[in-house]
Amino acid sequence: MSDLWRCPKCGAILRKGNPELAQMVMRGGLLVGTATCGVCGAQFGQGDVYRGLYDYDPYSRAGSPAGKKWWQFWK
């Protein structure tokens, strides 16, 4: 499980705020609420983010949206 996730709307790479929540979700815990992309403002289920649905793999060629690096989204 990655500590980074990619916004499905704009492709921004974001850091998950609390690694303990990811462990709780992996043990079967229920997490409610929304995670908000800091770039475009899109909202997604926090449980989906911490379950790994939007995980970003920096070593995957497909992981870089439109060939952009993570720092190109922080303008």
Residue 8 lies in a domain: yes
Q: How would residue 38 be classed by pLDDT, with cut points 50, 70 and 90? A: very high
- Residue 30 forms part of a structural domain: yes
Q: Is the separation of the CB atoms in 64 and 7 below 8 Å?
A: no
Per-residue pLDDT reduced to its tens digit, 20-37: 888 888 888 888 899 999
pLDDT at 31: 87
Phi then psi dihedrals of residue 44, to 5 deg:
-140, 160
Cβ 26 vs Cβ 55: under 8 Å: no
For residue 18, the model assigns a pLDDT of 86
- Total domains present in the chain: 1
CA 53 distance to own-chain centroid: 8
Q: Which domain holds residue 19?
A: 4-59
Rounded to 5°, angle at Cα 19 from 21 and 1: 100
Residue 64 forms part of a structural domain: no
